[in-house]
Amino acid sequence: QTVVTQEPSLTVSPGGTVTLTCASSTGAVTSGYYPNWFQQKPGQAPRALIYSTSNKHSWTPARFSGSLLGGKAALTLSGVQPEDEAEYYCLLYYGGARGVFGGGTKLTVL
């Protein structure tokens, strides 16, 4: 059973910077896992932010960036805005298009 682990919760001040991470139970996350990141606000569908580690969609704000950090996938928010308060999910692919979601990180902007 493959498990993808994220921080359950993080808190950041407005204007600050925060990094969310995504780890795999199989070992270090590499670009070959094609990490994706999603933002979900209450009552809404998830919205794709990042694909293939660091690529942004046309609608992704510039303050969001993706990377690999210390064997994990990472999502960094720089200059956090109040509207960034949300749940964030990562997705890793294990062979072909077999994807496993992380448990999510609840980001509080306070």
Partner 1 sequence: QVQLQESGPGLVKPSQTLSLTCTVSGGSISSGGYYWSWIRQHPGKGLEWIGYIYYSGSTYYNPSLKSRVTISVDTSKNQFSLKLSSVTAADTAVYYCARDVDYWGQGTLVTVSS
Q: Which residues bind partner 1 (CB under 8 A)?
A: 36, 38, 44-48, 51, 57, 89, 91, 96-104
How far does Cα 105 stand from its chain's mean position? 8
What minimum distance in Å lies between the beta carbon of 10 and partner 1? 16
**Residue 17 or 26: which CB sits closer to partner 1?**
26
Size (the chain), residues: 110
What minimum distance in Å lies between the beta carbon of 36 and partner 1? 6
**Greatest extent of the chain over all pairs of C-alpha atoms, in Å:** 40
CA dihedral 8, 89, 36, 39 (to 10 degrees): -130
**Integer-rounded Cα radius of gyration of the chain:** 13
**Residue 69 or 99: which CB sits closer to partner 1?**
99
**Residue 82 or 96: which CB sits closer to partner 1?**
96
